[in-house]
Amino acid sequence: MGDRSLDELLASANETIAAQSRELERLQADAALVERFREALRVAATGAAVGSPVSHTRLLEMVVETAVHIISANAGALLLLDEESDELVFAVAVGGKSEEVKSFRVPLGHGVAGLVAASGQPMAIAGTDSVETAQEIAEGIGYQPRSVLCVPLFYGGEVVGVLELLDKLDAEAFYPDDIGALSLFANQAAVAIAQSKAHQGALGILRSALVGLGEDAGELREVVREVATDIEGDEAHRQEIELARLVHEVASRGPEERAACKAILRALAAYVSSPAGTRTGNVG
């Protein structure tokens, strides 16, 4: 300490303070973002009855993007089970030549994805000498992966699809821990996908998909930001949410208000859905 002047000490202290306040600002920005996300989810939950803020396809893309990001993979794909034909259908792919994968199908039991779907067992393979092993992926994504991690998507105790990641970044193979993490995520995602399919509003559902990953909220920042932007950017959707808010406001006043609101809206719905020529002025 004796070697350093008071000025130097002060400068050092100031530097520390500056670094700390930068960190504080960053944390506050994170907190603000999380808060913004929460608000988006709340609004979306309210608006779920009148419109889906995120398309089903976008939700599937987000699932794969998030998985690729969390597990540090080069590419990923989501395949959903077509029970009619017992085939897996490529739904979305991220990375690779993803625009080429549409409508690609893998028979159940064929290749890594088909085997994972048939057995319900997650699988990690790497260093495969045989190029045929991951042929369905190679064809679907447009290149031959060095390592593959594939997990089933379970919904209601049944396999509904598989989530497949390709080429662990900076490693020869996916880590054993990745299998557990991706399996967990896939299960969350399966719930989201099934619910989205049932037209329950994708954003409210994404919340359940992300519940299991709550502690890693920072990791998901990019995805969250995109979601929030999607919502705010869509004027039609904003109006639908405004409608939902009005309904919520009226309905929360009591059972009579709720009944009246319902009767009015039902009559209005019947009115607007009838052929224009048959409409009468009476909406009561």
CA angle, residues 254, 259, 263, in degrees to nearest 5 = 150
Interacting residue with other proteins among 112, 137, 206, 241 (CB under 8 A): 112
Contact (CB, 8 A) for 190 and 204:
no
Q: Does 137 bind other proteins (CB under 8 A)?
A: no
Among 145, 57, 58, smallest CA distance to 95 is for 145
> Can residue 213 be called a binding residue for other proteins (CB under 8 A)?
no
Shortest spacing between CB 95 and other proteins, in angstroms: 22
Pick the binder of other proteins from 159, 189, 203, 223 (CB under 8 A).
159
Question: How many residues are recorded in the chain?
Answer: 284
Q: Does residue 122 touch other proteins according to CB under 8 A?
A: yes
Closest separation between CB of residue 151 and other proteins, Å?
7
Stretch that binds other proteins, among 70-78, 106-114, 193-201, 222-230 (CB under 8 A): 106-114
Site string for other proteins, 2-41 (x = CB under 8 A): ----------------------------------------
Confirm or reject binding of residue 126 to other proteins (CB under 8 A).
Answer: yes
Minimum separation from the CB atom of position 210 to other proteins (A): 19
Task: Report the 10 Å Cβ neighbour count for 167.
Answer: 24
Q: Tell me, rounded to whole angstroms, the distance of Cα 31 from its chain centroid.
A: 20
Q: Of 81, 83, 113, 77, which is closest to residue 96 (Cα–Cα)?
A: 77
Neighbouring CB atoms inside 10 A of 79's CB total 29
- Applying CB under 8 A, does 72 fall inside the site for other proteins? no
Q: Does 166 bind other proteins (CB under 8 A)?
A: no
H or E stretch at 123: strand 123-126
How far is CA 185 from each of CA 101, 153, 160, 192, 239, rounded to the nearest angstrom?
A: 23, 9, 14, 11, 33
Residues that bind other proteins (CB under 8 A): 86, 107-112, 114-115, 118-133, 151-152, 154, 157-159, 172-174, 176, 179-180, 183, 187
